[in-house]
Amino acid sequence: AAIDEFGNLHGHGAIYLVGGGDRLKRSRARLIEMIKLHKVTVVAIGNGTACREAEQLVADVLANELQGEEISYVIVNEAGASVYSTSPVGREELGQYEAAQRSAVSIGRRLLDPLSELVKINPANIGVGLYQHDMKAKHLQESLDAVVESCVNYVGVDLNTASPSLLSYVSGLNQLTARRVYEYRQQHGPFATREQLREVPGVGEATFVQAAGFLKIAGGDNPLDGTWIHPESYDAARGVLERLGGSVEELAAQVQRVQGEIARRRRQVAAFAEGLHPTPQEEPAQEQAVAVAEAAPPTDTEPPVAAATETDQQAAASEPAPELPSAEPEAAAEADAATPAVESTAEPAAEAVVESTPEAEAPAEPSPAAPIETPATEDAAAVAQAEEEAAAEATPAWEVTTRAAEADASQLAAELGIGEMLCRDILTSLTRPGRDPREDLPPPLFRREILKLEDLKPGMQLAGTVLNVVDFGAFVDIGLHDTGLVHISRLADHFIKDPHEVVGVGDTLHVWVTGVDKARRRVSLTAIAPGTEKPAPPRRRGKRPPAEGAAKPAERPARQDRNKGQSRRGEKRDRGGKGDRGRKESPPPRSKTFTLQPKTKAAPKLSKAMKEGRAPLRTFGD
């Protein structure tokens, strides 16, 4: 299935991994056709049946037919995808498609937004551990639902894009109210403020108070609706902003910048494998401009920036400054007041930019970096200027976040008359507006080829995903057909009793190869970086020294050997060649048998009355 960045299905087909030669050729051609037709940048492969065969096919296609394309693949956990394909939610969302196609769409959506997709599946069907169904179904369902609900509320939900399945796990909402919120959004359009949530039928004051803090609105009328600040604390948040010398408008600029940065990262992450490109934060503005010029592929409508002619440079230099997309009003006024000066200096500046890059003489080849769309009339200098102006516009907001991080929460709380914990929460929200806790987690591992056992060497660094955790270590998928093992002694640089203390299934680990057994196809790994291992303490030899503070034991006299001069036990004496002839061997000791006889009590004599029949007898023996 081919889906876009929003999870919408654009095409589907069947690809066979086994069969005759013609069948495999048609499947291979179909895969290449779908990738080129829908401009696929990442291929998500489920980790279920025939996962390695599918990975081999995709890697072979990327290495041969699509060698020059920036496409990678990633392994996705497909637990519960078949359950979704036959569930009422799956039939409602993708009713016109078959169950296998719904499963493929679910696997792709899990790579885009795992939380939004996994909430559509009963948690008991995801496979959270062994023997989970041995406990009562009611207790299991309550525990799993509580975990999912805590995860959803910890991350937060976008009110304008969330599905009813995701909204039903928000605090204060249930399946009925979540469905009503979804239907209200379908009828009246996206929510502009959190206050509109009160207009939804079935959402009362108590429901609004519980749910509003976890529902966010990106790009709404009130910038505070995009933060973690609750509507009840908006007045306190405005007071904190005033004390910090900022305003809500500056916060809105910062929120937009963060959201734009997140969107840009998502576009770039979808197109590169880990470790192939520098991160966007490490590139200065000028380097980003050069990277944009080199990354733009030559097309009929958009020629390479580096191949611009002198006429184009003069035309670009003669254009008025206000036509730039992000030009400031002050810069526009100065440009109108001093047009000749601009015309005289713009051309050398453009020439300097073109001459500063040696690649400008030839058409730029596509670089490994993700393609960034730029207008056809924009050159490297304009891009650099736009970046600088955008950074200048966002400077006040950055100053507000910096001051919020350095502010004294207790002093601000005392001045504003609010609680110190509330003030700390507000400052945290202002420090990272629009934050997503999942940004701090390691990204998925993107690959372009399959490793071979012959390519591994001791000391090689790899990145892998933990597939299973056992008592003696963890099995890690490093891109081989067989998994590698990290022994429990090499999971951490300190003693651990249980591997679950440091790793879990699905975690991303950076490991180093310590040994390769090609005969048995086994790979030994370590999670401890080379050079950081703690040396093993030397083994003690001789007597153990006494503990500190303990009394020195008294010296015992040397033990005299009573059998001095005699041979040691078990050795035979030399009898002058006679051997053991004439020697009487003592017979083995006989086993003695002891018979324990119980003491018998003498039976009491019959009384005179018993003999005469006046008293009853005790037993038949009487």
For residue 123, is it within any domain?
no
Instruction: List the domain range (segments joined by +) for residue 65.
Output: 1-112
Residue 223 has pLDDT above 70, yes or no: yes
Task: Judge contact between 10 and 3, C-beta under 8 A.
Answer: yes
- The tokens describing 122, both together, are 């009963």
Residue 409 lies in a domain: no
Q: What percent of the chain has pLDDT over 90?
A: 18
Q: What is the dihedral of CA 253, 420, 412, 233, to 10 degrees?
A: 40
Residues 303-334: b if buried by 16+ CB within 10 A, e if exposed:
bbbbbbeeeebeebbeeebeebeebeeeeeee
The answer to whether position 83 is within a domain reads yes
Pick the range with the lowest mean pLDDT from 176-190, 292-306, 494-508.
292-306
- Please give the Cα distance from 288 to 279 (Å, whole number): 11
The answer to whether 423 and 416 have CB atoms below 8 angstroms apart is: yes
Decide: helix, strand or coil at residue 418: coil
Q: Return the CATH number at 65.
A: 3.30.420.140
Per-residue confidence at 444, pLDDT binned at 50, 70, 90? confident
- Does 512 or 566 have the greater pLDDT score? 512
- Say if 353 falls within a structural domain: yes
Domain tally for the chain? 3
Question: 89-142 pLDDT, tens per residue?
Answer: 999 998 899 999 999 999 999 999 888 899 998 887 776 666 777 888 888 888
Higher pLDDT, 292 or 6: 6
Q: Do the domain assignments include residue 30?
A: yes
- One domain, residues 371 and 457: no
**Average pLDDT rounded to a whole number, residues 227-255:** 81
pLDDT of residue 340: 38
SS (H, E, C) 176-200: HHHHHHHHHHHHHCCCCCHHHHHHC
Tell me what percent of the residues of the chain surpass a pLDDT of 70: 67
- What per-residue confidence (pLDDT) applies to 194? 92
Computed from CA positions of residues 265, 267, 272, 276, in that sequence, does the dihedral angle turn out positive or negative?
negative
Long-range residue pairs from 420-426, CB within 8 A, at least 24 positions apart, any chain: 422/233, 422/236, 423/236, 423/240, 425/228, 425/229, 425/233, 426/229, 426/233, 426/236, 426/237, 426/240
Question: Tokens standing for 59?
Answer: 């890697």
Residue 121 in tokens: 């599946």
Q: Does 403 have pLDDT greater than 50? A: yes
Average pLDDT of the chain, as a whole number: 73
Answer whether 55's CB lies under 8 Å from 73's CB.
Answer: yes
- In angstroms, the CA 293 to CA 355 distance is 13
How many Å apart are CA 465 and CA 462, to the nearest integer?
Answer: 10
Q: Examine the domain organization and report whether 373 and 462 are in the same domain.
A: no
pLDDT at position 209 is: 92
Same-domain pairing of 106 and 21? yes
The predicted-structure confidence for 153-196, as pLDDT tens digits, reads as follows: 999 999 998 999 999 999 999 999 999 999 999 999 999 999 99
- Both 468 and 370 in one domain: the answer is no
Measured in degrees and rounded to the nearest 5, phi and psi for residue 598 equal -70, 150
- Domain termination residue (choose one: 53, 88, 112): 112
Say whether both 375 and 463 belong to one domain: no
Lowest mean pLDDT among 253-267, 356-370, 600-614: 356-370
The letter for the amino acid at 74 is: V
CATH number of the domain residue 484 falls in: 2.40.50.140
285 with 377, same domain: the answer is yes
Which of 335, 367, 382 lies at the terminal end of a domain, its last residue? 382
Residue 360 located in a structural domain: yes
> Residue 234 domain-assigned?
no
- Point out the domain boundary residue: 526, 548, 573: 526
pTM for the predicted model, two decimal places: 0.59
User: Given pLDDT bands bounded at 50, 70 and 90, which one contains residue 313?
Assistant: very low
Residue 343 lies in a domain: yes
